[in-house]
Structure 1
Amino acid sequence: MELEPVLTPFAGAAGDVVDWATVESAYGTGFPSDYKEFVRLFGHGTIEGRIATLIPVATSDPMVRRVAPLSDRMKSDPDYQRWTEPPVEARVLDRILVWGETDSSDVLGWITSGPDPDAWSLAVWARGDAAWTAYSCGMVEFLVRLLRGNFARCPISDTSLVGVPHARFLHDREEERLAAEGLYPWDD
């Protein structure tokens, strides 16, 4: 499933160059091929100011916003233990790798079970439901289905992106440049 033309860069250059061999060695796992293509085309930024997408960075610095496992606090917090359907595997929260978040405090990640990252399911913790839901699709298919309104029920807490025909992506470096000029692009 292709993300373009459902999602287009807002302004400036998008995309990030990632040394996948170094990153995969640091993380101890591969990454899904659709996600790698997303990072190449779009990268670290936001979709309509509502969904933040993260990239993997080979660092242990907790201040760097990046793809990361769920925090120990989230894994041990009873508020994050509920699933809309019971998880198939025990201790599945230990295998969630977060690639995104929403401005509604939802968490978007992969359930990193199995050696093939392209076969990983997606996990979404929706604050509005206070529960996790697993989806049998990749990151790009998830975003396309969300933006096209192809889920029976919105998978995130904020429904404003459902059915958006032409969503915009703003890379973090472009957002920082605009902010330095006193501009906030999502005000229109």
Structure 2
Amino acid sequence: MHESVARLRGIMAPSPLPAAVPPPWDDIESACGVRLPSDYRDFIDNYGNGRIADLHVLYPVSRRSNGQVRLTSLIDNAQGLIADEVFHEDDEDGNPLVGYPAPGGLLQWGGSTGGDMFFWVTEGADPDGWTVLAHLHGPAIWTRYDGTMTDFLIGLVTGEYRYARSVSNPPVARWTMIGDWTHRYGGPPSASLHGGDDRAGVRLSAGAPLPWDRVSVSGGDQDVFGRTGEVVPLIAADGATVRLGGGGLAPGIAYRLFAWARTDADAEADLLEIECDGAIVARGELSDSPTTRMVETRILVAANAPDAVVRIRVRSSKPAVKLPSFYLTINGTLGD
């Protein structure tokens, strides 16, 4: 095992699901026409296909909707980035950026839901000497990291990488496996809930929970799926009540909740609150905008415990409030 992967395993354990089934590396590298870094190969063999919170490491193969396996997914992705003119800027040292397979070109190995992208700089004949170039969406910069992909991940999950909090704040050392060469497990639970209407809005009594009329839920209990092939949803919404399950894998599921609402112009003191099992766990603060309110929190639900019951409420000095629109996003991953 590559030294940096062994070090990462001591910081961030692989999934508690059955050990990942490695992909056929000889076939993959033959199809791609390139030898891939050994730490990347060992990482995939140990961790499978998945993510660290909002950061994902690209898997070297993909399955099309008709079941056909595409071994060249990394190379195909590189060609797509060139076609989309992603490399039209210079790096932090003023050097022009080029995509693989140009000499020293960039080959993507990861990214994040926040728009960050992570690349190998394919300089030199030995892939184990490739360093990392990151495009960080928040500060909108290209920045080089003098180390391997796994060294870079260690810096992210420990917070030692200087831009770690731009990618994940706070840094998270928690891996969620969504599949491997032979299995596709249920993905991490997530949900998007909406309410209100920009034209009419919703009038509520102060302190009343927000009612959700459009709900989209995905993902489920990975433990149940791994044993039975059946996805059991962990998030459910019924009117104004949201239920969050802990699943079957210890220690449970950590959920990040972010709620947003648009208020009337005269609602200067109105605030959003997140209530869990009857107790207020987060209260938003007044923002610069007089017509928007936000609140966020993290809730850990233990494995095999009763569902957590969550409601989003609006507090106001007025007896009733009108909210033109509001939404709630929920993203879960294995807890720590």
Give the counterpart letter for 1:26 in structure 2.
Answer: A
Q: For the residues of structure 2 that align with 1:58 and 1:175, how far apart are their CA atoms?
A: 16
Give per-residue Cα distances to partners, 1:45-74, cap 9 Å, x unaligned: 0112x111122128899x979533161244
Q: For the residues of structure 2 that align with 1:9 and 1:183, how far apart are their CA atoms?
A: 22
Q: For the residues of structure 1 that align with 2:86 and 2:17, how far apart are their CA atoms?
A: 41
Aligned residues: 178
1:98 is the counterpart of 2:103? no
TM-score of the superposed pair, with normalisation by structure 2: 0.47
Which residue is 1:72 aligned to? Answer: 82
Q: For the residues of structure 1 that align with 2:38 and 2:134, how far apart are their CA atoms?
A: 20
Q: For the residues of structure 2 that align with 1:147 and 1:76, how far apart are their CA atoms?
A: 27
Q: SS where residue 9 of structure 2 aligns?
A: coil
The answer to which structure, 1 or 2, has the higher relative contact order (CA under 8 A, 6+ apart) is: 1
CA shift in 2, pair 1:21/1:32, >3 Å: same
1:183 is the counterpart of 2:234? yes
Shift of 1:12: 1.2
1:171 is the counterpart of 2:177? yes
Checking the alignment, whether the CA contact within 8 Å between 2:87 and 2:99 is kept in structure 1 is: no
Shift of 1:183: 2.4
CA shift in 2, pair 1:4/1:15, >3 Å: same
Q: For the residues of structure 1 that align with 2:29 and 2:12, how far apart are their CA atoms?
A: 27
Which residue is 1:135 aligned to? Answer: 145
Checking the alignment, whether the CA contact within 8 Å between 1:15 and 1:43 is kept in structure 2 is: yes
Checking the alignment, whether the CA contact within 8 Å between 1:66 and 1:99 is kept in structure 2 is: no
Q: Which runs of 5+ in 2 are unaligned?
A: 180-184, 188-219, 223-230, 236-252, 256-299, 301-336
Q: Which runs of 5+ in 1 are unaligned?
A: none
Give per-residue Cα distances to partners, 1:23-60, cap 9 Å, x unaligned: 11111111111111101100210112x11112212889
What fraction of aligned residue pairs are identical, expressed as a percent?
26
Over aligned residue pairs, what C-alpha RMSD do you find? 2.9
Q: Which has the larger radius of gyration?
A: 2
Q: For the residues of structure 1 that align with 2:86 and 2:56, how far apart are their CA atoms?
A: 24
Shift of 1:129: 2.2
Structure (1/2) with the larger helix percentage: 1
Shift of 1:11: 3.5
Shift of 1:146: 1.5
Checking the alignment, whether the CA contact within 8 Å between 1:16 and 1:42 is kept in structure 2 is: no
> Which residue, out of 4, 10, 13, partners 1:8?
13
> Which residue, out of 27, 43, 46, partners 1:41?
46
Checking the alignment, whether the CA contact within 8 Å between 1:124 and 1:156 is kept in structure 2 is: no
Q: For the residues of structure 1 that align with 2:138 and 2:39, how far apart are their CA atoms?
A: 28
TM-score of the superposed pair, with normalisation by structure 1: 0.79
